[in-house]
Every structure is written in structure tokens, then in C-alpha cells.
A and B are shown apart, each in its own frame.
Chain A
Amino acid sequence: MLVTEQERLKSDIGTWLERYGRDRSALIPVLQEIQKKYTRISEYGMQVLADQLGIHPVEVYSVVSFYAFLDHKPKGKFVIRLCRTVSCDMQGKARVAQQLESDLGITFGETTSDGKFSLEWANCLGMCDQGPALLVNDIVYTRVTPAMVNDILETCRKTFGVYALESTHEEGHA
């Protein structure tokens, strides 16, 4: 990560701690903010946050590694999470999964080489009456069919330009 990027992250963490309070209960809300803006929680970010909260960085790592929506590895701009739980399974999740892999050229757990898409499994998304369901970041898609997969990806690609402008400065190398 470039020095300027480290400074930006550090200053963001300071802002978020002001908002959520400087105690342990602010840890997860701040981690969620970092994850959202930087698509990952870097080791540097964990160290800064630990320092500010007066706890050991390992404590922060243990929290990051526990929650499915927090990750220290870089994620794509669009994280696609397909529900694999029983109701979506019965409604044809396997074929949607197959099509996602084919259209993205990656398997579950991977990120495309251009850094746009990550593909993951999710447990029950609470859309059981209208599955198969998937999340693209915070947006829910229901009754997804294999043929719809390409439309969903295209929608992401079209909105990517806006995010790309905002985010080129945030991307760095760990």
C-alpha cells in the first residue's frame, strides 16, 4: 500500500472512530466501513484500528476472520453472493452457480483478474419464497435464472465507471 493510501486509510479510521465512539463496541462498525470503502481490511488498517482502540492487532484479526462479510484479502468491486441454502437449492441454485462461473470465468471463492467481481456462497439470504437469490454487494436479486446472470453482470459493468473514478485512488498494494 502506498504511503499516501496508508495516510488516507488512517485518516478515515479516525473519522469513523469519531462517529462510532472510541471504544471496543465501535470495532465492527468501523471494520464494516473499511470493508465497504476499500473492499478489504488490510493488515495496516487492522494495526491502526487496534492502536486507536488500545487492543492487540490479533484481537482485530480474530474479529475480521470470524465474520463472513469482513475479509482481509482484496475483493472485487462487486461481491456476488449466491444463496446455497435448502430453499434456493431446491429452486435451481446449482444451474445459476454454473452460469455465474461460466460467465465470470472464475470459480466460487475467486476474484476476476480485473478486480471487478468476486464470487462467493452465502447462507440463507431470507428470500426463500422467491429463490434462487443472490446479493450483489447490498442489492438483492430474486428468482434468478441462468439466463439472467449475464444481465446482472452487465448492470454491474455499466455502473462500474462511476465507482472506478472514485476508487482509483484507493487501490494500492499491500
Chain B
Amino acid sequence: MITPNHKAPLTFATIEPDAGLKAALAKPRVDLIAEITASQLKGRGGAGFPTGVKWNLAAAAQADTKYVICNADEGEPGTFKDRVLLSDHADLVFEGMTIGGYAIGSKIGILYLRGEYTYLRAHLDAVLAARRAKGLLGKNVAGKQGFEFDIQIRMGSGAYVCGEETALIESLEGHRGEPRNRPPFPVDTGLNKLPSVVNNVETFAWVTSILVKGSAWFKAIGTQRSTGLKIFSVSGDCKQPGIYEFPMGITVAKMLEAVGGSDAKAVQIGGASGHCVPASEFGRVIAFEDVSTGGSVIVFGAHRDMLHVAKNFLEFFVEESCGQCTPCRDGNPKLLGGVELLEQGRCSMRYLNELSSLGETMQIASKCGLGQSAPNAFLSIVKHFKDELMGRTQGEAH
């Protein structure tokens, strides 16, 4: 049985249904995008691109057909917020997509739902059907003459890399989920080479909320460069794992206190592609300017073997690399081989340094964001836990 595991009421629960859409449709498109831009909302999937800027570019692109795509291919290890949002607040997400359709001049919305969440499909279809029945999708949306918009659902088939927006588009077009070169960006050359906006599930829900509560409300929360609230998926060695809402800019220490994980020795922030923060750095803040995240927080207690953690992440990337570019395809197995040497206590410092240098090359030379961030966990664990990793004797229990 799947439990919702909300640890506190989310702001989304307080948002009046359809109020955001009505507020949006009452505005000229330019003012609507200006409102989103003023909130300084940045993409909640993790990359942190300003939503208003993205929408403005897509709105300016000249084309008869444009797409609004919701990225629900939530595959980052330790992330489950989008699952909860789609279970409990699907209307807000679809409302945000409809607002996006109005903003950029699109009639077609697509929700790309990961195959692992197929069990949510019936619920989401029912929500969409209810919205159509209420006139909130279809022709003349919510009574707005001439604004037509509908949303279809497309299923993923078990590929982590499809969470990368251009791989997702490739998958929608019926291809292998291999990321494209950027530029051109999806805002002008997206699905079927047409302008497309791709945003995370949570981003759309915040758009709706901002339209209801105003950009000033959102901007007043968080830090100067990372405004607003953020949903976090917390798991691992803490007393209360689950979904949390915190303002951007919260320190790691404060978050750990809230989730009952203060005695942790390290926290992985941002999932397998994120960074491992050791206890000595728990004063750092979670924000785009410091420790950036799509919302995944995995807590490691004192007894955890960090080498085992690094190995798990690397096995993940070896499996999930799309195989298109050499740094990611060949780099990850090399790093994994290094971890296996460390397990046997047979890795020299010199070789470990070479592996770190390889990791840095992967960060620069990989084609897509996923490949570029694949070595992050390994590099940060090596940086902070050398004494734990090195000089192991055979059969040593960790």
C-alpha cells in the first residue's frame, strides 16, 4: 500500500481550484508571463532555468503549433514528490499546464508519465475527463473565447535519461531516448521541431499557486537568487521520511532537524546526480547558488558505508547511461571499477586521483546534463570520505 506520507500540509492544499487559471485568462499574455517572470520561479526539476524566461522565448517563437509538455518522468533516485503531487494535486498541475498553453499560444499539452507510475494513469485520466466536463479543457477554456487547449498522457517505458528534456522529446517522437545537442533549445526547436515548453510537474503547480497568491508572495520567500518554496522528498536514515515543503535557502542542518535526522554523517542532496554533503558542511544552504536540488534528500546515518553508497549510484549510471556519448558510457564503468578496487583495498592514491580527474572530464565533456552530473556523487564522496574509502583490508566489514 502506498501511503501519502505528508509531513506537513503543503501550500498546494490551500490553493482554490481554478482560481489561478481564471486569474491568468483575465490577463493579456504579456502580463501573465511578466507575473511569472517577476516571481523569479526557477524550474523545480533541478536544472533551475527561470520559468518566465522559458515561456517568453516560447511565446515569441513563430509557429502555428506549439506544445506544453509536463515532465513527469521522475526517475532521480530519492525523488518522489511528483508522484505525490500527481496523486493529490493533479488539478493544480493540469491547471498550470493550461496556463502555460495560454501564455505561449499552444493548444496541445502532453504529460509524459514514467512507466513506473502506470498505476496513476486511471486517476489522471479521470481528472482530465472531469476538467473537460467542466469546460476547463477543450474549446473556449473556462469561457475564454478562442482559447483551445487539451492535455494527453504519454507513458514512458523505464528510461531514466528520458527525464532530460530533449531525450523526453525524442521518446515522444518514437525514438530511443538519446539527448540532443542544445542549442537549439526546445523553446524553438522542440517536439516535431516545433516550439515546446518542457517543465517539471512541481513547476506547473507553483505557476498556478503564483497566479492565485501573486508573484510578490512567492518572491518574498527564499533567497535573492532562489525564490519561493520547494517540495522535498526525504528518505534514508531519518525518523520521518516523506514529503516536505521548505523555503529555498534552508540549511541542511535545519532540514535534518525537521525530518529527525540530525545525527546523520552525510546527506545526498539532488539524488544520484547530486552532491554528498558531509556533516561538517551541514551549514550550507539548499538553493540554486549553493547546494542545488530537484528535491531529493537521502540521509545517511553514522553506520552507513559511503563506498557502498557510491557503488550503488555508479551501478545506477552504468545501467541508465543512454550510451550515446563516450564520457558517460565509458566513464561510469571506469569509476565503478575503481570503487570495486577500493572495496578490495587495492586502489592506489594515484589511481584514485586519476579517477577523480576522469570524473571532472565527464562533467565537462558529456553531452547532456545527466552525463555531466553522473560523477558528482562519486567525486563528492571521494572528496569527503577518503579515510573511510581507502586502505580496506580483505573481508573488512563496513
Q: Tell me how far the C-beta of B122 lies from the nearest C-beta in chain A, rounded to whole angstroms.
A: 10
B78 touches A123 (CB 8 A): no
Please choose the segment from A25-33, A99-107, A154-162 that sits at the chain B interface, where 4 or more of its residues have CB less than 8 A away: A25-33
Chain A positions within 8 Å of B160 at CB level: 123-124
Task: Identify B119's interface contact among A23, A67, A139, CB under 8 A.
Answer: A139
B77 touches A124 (CB 8 A): yes
Please choose the segment from A8-16, A111-119, A127-135, A163-171 that sits at the chain B interface, where 4 or more of its residues have CB less than 8 A away: A127-135
Question: CA of A85 to CA of B77 in the docked complex: distance in angstroms?
Answer: 7
Q: Which residue of A lies closest to B172 (CB)?
A: A25
Q: Tell me how far the C-beta of A45 lies from the nearest C-beta in chain B, rounded to whole angstroms.
A: 15
Question: CA of A26 to CA of B173 in the docked complex: distance in angstroms?
Answer: 8
Question: CA of A51 to CA of B160 in the docked complex: distance in angstroms?
Answer: 29
Question: CA of A30 to CA of B119 in the docked complex: distance in angstroms?
Answer: 19
Count of inter-chain pairs, beta carbons less than 8 A: 127
B3 touches A130 (CB 8 A): yes
Q: Which residue of B lies closest to A131 (CB)?
A: B235
Q: Answer whether residue A48 sits at the interface, using C-beta atoms and an 8 A cutoff.
A: no
Chain A positions within 8 Å of B241 at CB level: 128-130
Question: CA of A135 to CA of B339 in the docked complex: distance in angstroms?
Answer: 29
A123 touches B157 (CB 8 A): no
Number of interface residues of A (CB under 8 A): 37
Q: Answer whether residue B5 sits at the interface, using C-beta atoms and an 8 A cutoff.
A: yes
Q: Which residue of B lies closest to A90 (CB)?
A: B236
Question: CA of A66 to CA of B172 in the docked complex: distance in angstroms?
Answer: 14
Chain B positions within 8 Å of A90 at CB level: 236-237, 300, 304
Q: Tell me how far the C-beta of B195 lies from the nearest C-beta in chain A, rounded to whole angstroms.
A: 17
Q: Tell me how far the C-beta of A94 lies from the nearest C-beta in chain B, rounded to whole angstroms.
A: 11
Chain A positions within 8 Å of B164 at CB level: none
B119 touches A86 (CB 8 A): no
Interfacial residues of chain B within 206-248, with CB under 8 A of chain A in the complex:
233-237, 241-243
B176 touches A63 (CB 8 A): yes
Question: CA of A122 to CA of B67 in the docked complex: distance in angstroms?
Answer: 31
Q: Answer whether residue A125 sits at the interface, using C-beta atoms and an 8 A cutoff.
A: yes
B175 touches A63 (CB 8 A): yes
Chain A positions within 8 Å of B233 at CB level: 128-129
Q: Answer whether residue A126 sits at the interface, using C-beta atoms and an 8 A cutoff.
A: yes
B298 touches A123 (CB 8 A): no
A69 touches B158 (CB 8 A): yes
Question: CA of A69 to CA of B171 in the docked complex: distance in angstroms?
Answer: 13
Question: CA of A27 to CA of B175 in the docked complex: distance in angstroms?
Answer: 8
What is B's interface to A at a CB cutoff of 8 Å? 1-3, 5, 74-80, 82-83, 114-119, 154-155, 157-160, 171-177, 192, 233-237, 241-243, 268, 271-272, 298, 300, 304, 309, 312-313, 315-316, 319-320, 322
